[in-house]
A and B are shown apart, each in its own frame.
Chain A
Amino acid sequence: MKIKIIGLGSPHGDDQAGWEVIRLLQQQTLPENVELLALDRPGLALPNYFDGADKVILIDACDAGWMLGEWQQFSLEQLLDCAGLQGGSSHQLGVADSLQLAAITGVELPAITVICVQIGQCGQMEAMSPELFTSSKRICNNIHYQLNYAAVPSGI
């Protein structure tokens, strides 16, 4: 089973969290069937990066009113149920919009898990908050554990 782990983000402040998780995973020993990708705001092109994957794990920043650095894991269905869709310009299309559009138009999607992490500041080219570094390590450890020691559990 081919697994793609994709960190989404930008170079701005806490929005780098998804990339940081990928950077940490790159330092780990992972099964051969796992591919890591860090993408800069792919917009509608996101589903194109799923090609060849049976399972995709996305890590993305979110603003859900949680505590800074808090993270939760969603299935695609759960995400589409609860995410506020932007639907504005192509500058504003987020992960949920992109996945929603793919699902509605009948694009065949692999099993998708989305890990959302609550962010704070996203100032241009600012550094990431200390809380997000801690969360990124925890997310990395969780993914690493599940990939190596769990028999592909329900979440991942």
Chain B
Amino acid sequence: MSKRNLSIRVPILARVEGEGAMDLDIRDGAIEKLQLRIYEPPRFFEKFLEGRAYHEIPDVVARICGICPVAYQVSAVNAIESAFNMDPGPWVKAMRRLIYLGEWIESHALHIHLLALPDFFGYQSGIAMAKDHPAEVRRGLKLQNLGNEIMRCIGARSVHPVSIKVGGLHKAPDDAKLARLLRALEEALPEALEMCDWLASIPLPDDQQTFNCTALKAANYAVEDGILVSSTGLNLKPEQYDQHFTEFHQPQSTALWSHMDGEAYLVGPLARMNLTAQTMPAISQPVMHKFAHRFPSNNMFDSMLARGIEIVFAMQEAISILQGYSRPQHSFIESTPQESQGQGWSEAPRGLLWHHYELDRQGIVRKARLVPPTSQNQARIEQDLHRSLLNFGLDNSDDDIRLHCEKVIRNYDPCISCATHFLKLNTVRR
């Protein structure tokens, strides 16, 4: 290996959500500095929530992200309902799961086809890739639109939906719209399976690494709730999260980092598949079983196939919920605020999203904490960059090294705008 010196600065990372950069310094043939730098200004959402009434929270937190607003809404209502000792019942849970599945489909299809895949085929953008693979990209956009349609049917609109409230849904969705949605999902399911076949056939870099995984687990593949499990043996309820997970500042990031028992960890589709694939009904079916041997995987680039499989699962699950749909007498239960605190979580498309609220007796938020998936993945992304670049080889050309690093980062589907929600301010008074 040559003992060369090299500095690579990627001032604006393309094809990620939000504003981030990457700095790499190689000295005498060894990595001296390799950082994912998040410079998007903090957005102070936790402070905005203080003084707001509990019933306003689902609409405020939805604004954190245009790609995964449902994740924020569901984690919030889970936390508040836990604080108020409420159980909204199976119909509400099924509807929340359904709209959440729409968000998974929409988010995953977008990431696969426009953000991640161009890296694997050597294109600058999804648009450039579409010129050579029009049918595949059109199929991806169709699936993405179907995810949006689920969100529109349940949530009245696909971006920042407005149906979710503490105790249930403001209104039961329209039966005729749901019937049309069911037909559309059934018709499109074979195309999602074809997409999985295609994704599984794409050659990936051989990049084996060991890393910690964390995900929620439920009887039927966790989406809207579950118990936290990890590759290190954790088995936690939401209120135990703080005992093992710590947030801290790093100078290169306006988003907080997070460690699990002092170590970096992965959340998101690959972590879910690695830890809980056996709970996914879709994976045991003959058409999907051929992908099962790929998981658990130590190759982070298998995240793309994990997203594809989760799209198929989400469509099958949505079909199942819609087939069993019946209109309830009431779409929500009344809530009674009380002085309390509550924690709740769910599996956002990009991974675990934990919320904690302290409320006074009128149900006004006195303190809020939100821990989004991209924050949690930051330490893991930098760990991956180091290991993956060493596996790739520092003797490669500058352009190839830069591209490889960008590919590693994009593979996590980082949502930087979600992550930069909070900045701890240390004020010195003289």
Contacts and interface: CB of A to CB of B under 8 A. Distances in A.
- Answer yes or no: are A and B bound together in one complex: yes
Interface of A: 44-45, 48, 85, 87-91, 97, 100-101, 104-107
A89 B130 contact: no
B131 A104 contact: yes
A91 B14 CA distance: 11
A91 B101 CA distance: 22
Contacts of A88: 14-15, 125
Interface in B291-335: none
B62 to A, nearest CB: 14
A106 B134 contact: yes
A90 B145 contact: no
B127 A101 contact: yes
Contacts of A106: 134-135, 138
Contacts of B114: 44, 90
Interface of B: 14-18, 66-67, 110, 114-115, 124-128, 130-131, 134-135, 137-138, 141, 144-145, 148, 158, 417
A88 B416 CA distance: 14
A91 B15 contact: no
Given A45-B145, A90-B115, A91-B417, 6 more contacts: A44-B110, A48-B145, A87-B128, A88-B14, A97-B127, A100-B127
Contacts of B128: 87
In order of increasing CB-CB distance, the 7 nearest A-B pairs are A87-B125, A105-B138, A104-B130, A105-B134, A89-B17, A88-B14, A87-B127
Contacts of B66: 91
Contacts, number: 57
A106 B133 CA distance: 11
Nearest to A107: B138
A101 B138 CA distance: 9
Nearest to A89: B17
A91 B16 CA distance: 9
19 contacts: A44-B141, A44-B144, A45-B145, A87-B126, A87-B127, A87-B128, A88-B15, A88-B125, A90-B17, A90-B114, A90-B115, A91-B17, A91-B417, A101-B127, A101-B141, A104-B127, A104-B134, A104-B137, A105-B135
A44 to B, nearest CB: 6
Given A44-B144, A45-B158, A101-B126, A90 B18 contact: no
A106 to B, nearest CB: 6
B141 A89 contact: no
A89 B127 contact: no
B144 A105 contact: no
B130 A105 contact: yes
B106 to A, nearest CB: 10
B125 A85 contact: yes
Nearest to A88: B14
Q: Give the secondary structure class of B's interface.
A: helix
Nearest to A48: B145
A100 to B, nearest CB: 6
Contacts of B110: 44, 90
Given A89-B17, A91-B17, A105 B126 contact: no
Contacts of A91: 17-18, 66, 417
A89 B14 CA distance: 6
A146 B130 CA distance: 36
A105 B16 contact: no
B138 to A, nearest CB: 4
A97 B141 CA distance: 13
A87 B124 contact: yes
A107 B135 CA distance: 10
B80 to A, nearest CB: 28
A104 B133 CA distance: 9
Contacts of A101: 126-127, 130, 137, 141
A89 B115 contact: yes
A105 B141 contact: yes
Contacts of B134: 104-106
Contacts of B14: 87-89
Contacts of B144: 44
A100 B129 CA distance: 12
A48 B131 CA distance: 20
B127 A85 contact: yes
Contact of A89 (B18, B124, B135, B145): B18
Nearest to A40: B159
Contacts of B67: 90
Contacts of A89: 14-18, 115
Nearest to B414: A89
Contacts of B141: 44, 101, 105
A88 B124 CA distance: 9
A100 B114 CA distance: 13
